Structures are given as C-alpha cells and as structure tokens.
C-alpha cells in the first residue's frame, strides 16, 4: 500500500527517524496545535502523533485516514472509540523504554531516600564549611535494602522496576490498580499496597478507571515516611491532594516526571512546591538516546507492517 504519511509533532522525537517504505509522500511538522490537526492531516493515509490530540471532531473531517501511529506507549491523545467505530487502526510503541524509565525511577527514589537535594543545599549554603565536625547531619537518610517497593502496573516497565528493586534488596509487591487481584504471591490489593509500601511507583496507563487513582484517601493510607513516584501519567494522581500531602507531611516525599496538563503553561500546584522531598522533571524519564532511537525504529516498523497487511501493536 502506498501512503501519505504526516508526522504532527516531529520535535517530540529529537533523534533520527527513517521514512517508512510505504510513504509515497512524507510530511513533517515541528509541532501542531489542536486546531490545526484536521487541516494538516487532510488527504493523509497515516498520521503520526506523539502528544498532539487527535479527537473525533478532527477525525470526522479525515475520510482518507486509515492509521494513527502513536509515537509513544500511552495513546490517551487519540479518540480510540471513534477510530474503532470508523475503521481507523491505532498502533502504539511497546517495550522501548524498559531501561530508561526504570533508571529514572530509581534516580528519583535514591535522591529522595538519601535526601540529596537537602544535603546539596547545605553545602551550597556553607553549612558544611562551618561545621564543627567532619559531616553535617540534617535530614534523614534511609537505605533501600529491606524496604518495601510497591508497583502499580505489571507491564514490561513495572517488571523492570521490580528487577532493580530486588537487586537493591527490596521486597517487591504489585497491584494492578482497582481490578481483581491476580493469583500471585506478590500481588496485593491496592489498599494493602498503599499501607505497606515504603516506595510506591505508578506504571499503569491512564484510563477512565485509573484517572485519579491516587487521591486524598489513598495518600492518607500511605506511611508518613513513604515516597510516591509517578513516571506514567499525571492524571493518575490528584495533584492538589498531593501538594497538601507534601506540605502537611502525610507522606515522606514524591518524585514526578509527569503532570496532568503538559506543558503546564497555565501553571500547576506542584510547580509551587519548593522543598527537598519533592522532585519534578519535565516528562523525560523515557528520553534516553537509546530509548528514543528504539522508539523511532519501532514506529517505522509499525507503519510499514500495517501497510503490508500484517499490522502489529494495534490498540484494541
């Protein structure tokens, strides 16, 4: 099949990208506003999007569109229900950041458990230079060994996080969110996981069922020393509740790589938190060079496989 392929947000993938073999015409846009989607995809057979929303209003004006290739694992930017009802295939990227995201998770965890930001601030302020002894004690430092790692989600990234946690000597427990428990000795209901975890890390998709998964009630169930890590989707957590939890000490700290609205041009309550037990990075956990190159390769393969009649990684 010959195809007109349009990449809506090429700047979101800053590595080389191989043009699909099926593309008789290939168009790249650095970025695309939501109001430009229908115009830019006019006549396109294949749309590539990373985070540009492709909703029913635009899709209704695109009779030639046959495939939306999402350049990410999460596909909440696409109106999958409309696509399913109108014969538009949707593919996503799988198992590409199984090293990048878990490493970022533990960068956040280690920085928080060992209070690195607080101690760096002490050095910068001159407190160490003025100390009466060889070190400065200010802020608790905790080991990972012997602590409980709770993982919400049991996909490839969740499993990779579990392997690293086990290597640190952590007890690893899973929950798959508000669903029936799996028949596994390491699986726990979410409520129990919240109560037991010293580190709780989220690795589940954002769906109607998981939106607001962690709110005030869940935060209050966690240990006062526990850490909450979110490198999945911002909408999984009630952000105002988390801000209050951090300020009032319901939990020990949090490390986030995602927000409910990205980029946060209108602000966000979590941007206002300036304390050493909270770390926020700009949705880059996935973005090692190696992971991005693997994503780009898989994106091309997904498109060409679909064009050749052997579709892969379809969202059902």
Q: Which residues are catalytic?
A: 233, 262, 283
Neighbour-count burial for 54-87, b at 16+ CB within 10 Å, e otherwise? beeebbeebeebbbbbbbbbbbbbbbbebbeeee
Give the pairing type, strands 253-256 and 278-280: parallel
The count of residues in the chain is: 316
Record the tokens describing residue 282, joined without a space. 């700009």
Mapped onto helix, strand or coil, the DSSP state of residue 5 is strand
Dist. CA 171–CA 316, nearest whole Å? 34
**CA 187: distance to chain centroid?**
22
User: What's the CA gap between 222 and 260, in Å, rounded?
Assistant: 22
Dist CA 286 CA 298 (whole Å): 15
Lookup: tokens for 266: 């209108």
3-state secondary structure (DSSP) of residue 135 = coil
Report the C-alpha gap between 209 and 236 in whole angstroms. 10
């Amino acid at each position: 099949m010959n195809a007109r392929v349009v990449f809506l947000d090429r700047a979101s993938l800053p590595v080389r990208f191989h043009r699909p073999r099926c593309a008789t015409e290939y168009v790249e846009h650095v970025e695309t506003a939501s109001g430009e989607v229908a115009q830019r995809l006019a006549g396109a057979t294949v749309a590539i999007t990373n985070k540009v929303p492709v909703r029913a209003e635009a899709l209704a004006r695109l009779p030639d569109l046959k495939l939306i290739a999402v350049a990410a694992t999460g596909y909440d930017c696409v109106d999958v229900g409309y696509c399913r009802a109108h014969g538009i295939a949707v593919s996503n990227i799988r198992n590409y950041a199984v090293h990048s995201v878990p490493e970022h998770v533990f960068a956040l965890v280690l920085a928080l458990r060992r209070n690195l930001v607080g101690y760096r601030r002490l050095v910068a302020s001159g407190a160490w230079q003025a100390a009466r002894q060889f070190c400065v004690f200010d802020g608790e430092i905790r080991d990972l060994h012997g602590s409980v790692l709770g993982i919400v989600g049991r996909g490839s990234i969740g499993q990779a996080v579990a392997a690293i946690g086990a290597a640190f000597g952590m007890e690893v427990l899973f929950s798959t969110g508000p669903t029936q428990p799996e028949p596994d000795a390491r699986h726990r209901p979410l409520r129990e996981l919240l109560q037991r975890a010293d580190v709780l890390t989220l690795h589940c998709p954002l769906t109607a069922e998981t939106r607001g998964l962690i709110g005030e009630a869940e935060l209050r169930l966690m240990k006062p020393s526990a850490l909450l890590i979110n490198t999945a989707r911002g909408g999984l957590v009630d952000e105002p509740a988390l801000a209050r939890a951090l300020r009032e000490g319901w939990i020990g700290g949090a490390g986030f790589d995602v927000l409910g609205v990205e980029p946060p041009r209108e602000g966000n309550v979590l941007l206002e938190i300036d304390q050493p037990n909270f770390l926020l990075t700009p949705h880059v956990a996935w973005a090692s060079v190696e992971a991005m190159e693997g994503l780009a390769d898989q994106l091309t393969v997904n498109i060409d496989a679909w064009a050749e009649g052997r579709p892969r990684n379809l969202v059902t």
